[in-house]
Amino acid sequence: MKDLVSAIESIQMDHEESRLTPAICVNQSDDYVMILNKNSDNYLSNRVVFSHETHDLKAEDLYEVAESFFGDKVYGWYTDKVKDHHLINFLTDRGWIVEDEYDGRYFKVNNQEFEISANIVEVQAGSPQVKDLVNITTHIWYTIDETKIESAIKAYNDYLSSSDRRGGYVLYYLDDKAVGYGTYRFSSCGRYMYLAGTGVLEAYRNRGIYKSILNYRLNKAIHRGADYVLTQARLGHSSPILEKCGFDKAGEFVFLVPYMDK
C-alpha cells in the first residue's frame, strides 16, 4: 500500500521533459517539486507538489524556498493529508485554506476489456480537436487565460508531437460538440497509468459520459501492459464515481491556496 501511495503522489511530478516549455520553470529536489508557469496566474498551474516535511527541510524553510521561487505569482500547494499535518498546520496558521481534498484511488488492471463509446476521439497533433480540447478545459476549469488560447494550442500540439510523449487526451463528442475530456499519462517505469484530469460540461453530466471516457483509458492501460491505473480523485466529485467503478483507496491529499478576500 505504501508503494501505491508514493506512486499516486508521483502523478504530480512524473512528467516528460517535453512538457517543460520555455514558459515553465521547475525547482525540484528529492522532497518537493515547484512548478511555475510564466503565462498563467492560476494557482492550479503554479503549484508546489510532493512536498512532505523531512528531517532535512522544515516547513518554514520549505515555505521560504517557495515564496522566493514564485515571487509575486499566486500558487497552490498539494500535500499528503496524513503525514504532512505539520506542514498543513504551518500554512493554515499563515492564512492558507484547503481548496480541495482528494482520495488516492487505484485500479488493479486485469485482462477484462470495457465497453467504449464511438463518440470518443483520441486527440491528434495538428487536428481541430486540439482547439476543442483547449476550449473545454478552459470552460470547465478556468485554467487558461482566453487571451492565450493560441499559445495553449501550440503547447498541446508540441507535446502531442514530442518523441518522449507518454500520455494523451481524449474527447467525447455529441452533435459535433466536445462535451467531455480525459487525460492519461503512463509512468516513466511503465507500471502505472495516471489519470491526470477528467471533465464533463455541466449540462451533459449524469449521462454516462464520464464512465465512457474512463473505460476508454482503462482499455488503453490493458493494451499497454500497465499494472495499475492511479489518480487523485476529488472528494464529493470523481472519488465516489471511481469507487463505484472498482477503484480502491490509497492515501488522502489536500490542495491549499492562500486566502484572498475577494
d(CA 102, CA 11): 13
- Report pTM: 0.89
Task: Give dist(CA 209, CA 179) in Å, integer.
Answer: 9
pLDDT at site 262: 42
pLDDT at 124: 98
Residue 160 grid coordinates: 502531442
3-state secondary structure the chain: CHHHHHHHHHHHCCCCHHHCCCCEEEEECCCCEEEEECCCCCCCCCEEECCCCCCCCCHHHHHHHHHHHHCCCCCEEEEECCCCHHHHHHHHHCCEEEEEEEEEEEEECCCCCCCCCCCEEECCCCCCHHHHHHHHHHHHHCCCCHHHHHHHHHHHHHHHCCCCCCEEEEEEEECCEEEEEEEEEECCCCCEEEEEEEEECHHHCCCCHHHHHHHHHHHHHHHHCCCEEEEEEECCCHHHHHHHCCCEEEEEEEEEEECCCC
Q: What is the pLDDT of residue 130?
A: 97
Q: What domains lie within the chain, and their CATH numbers?
A: 2-103+254-258 (no CATH), 110-226 (3.40.630.30)
pLDDT average per 10 residues of sequence, the chain (262 residues): 85 82 84 87 86 74 94 93 90 95 96 92 97 92 71 91 96 96 96 95 94 97 97 93 95 91 48
**Residue 261 pLDDT:** 53
Residues 6+ apart with CB under 8 A from 213: 120, 170, 172, 180, 181, 182, 198, 200
Strands 47-49 and 167-174: unpaired
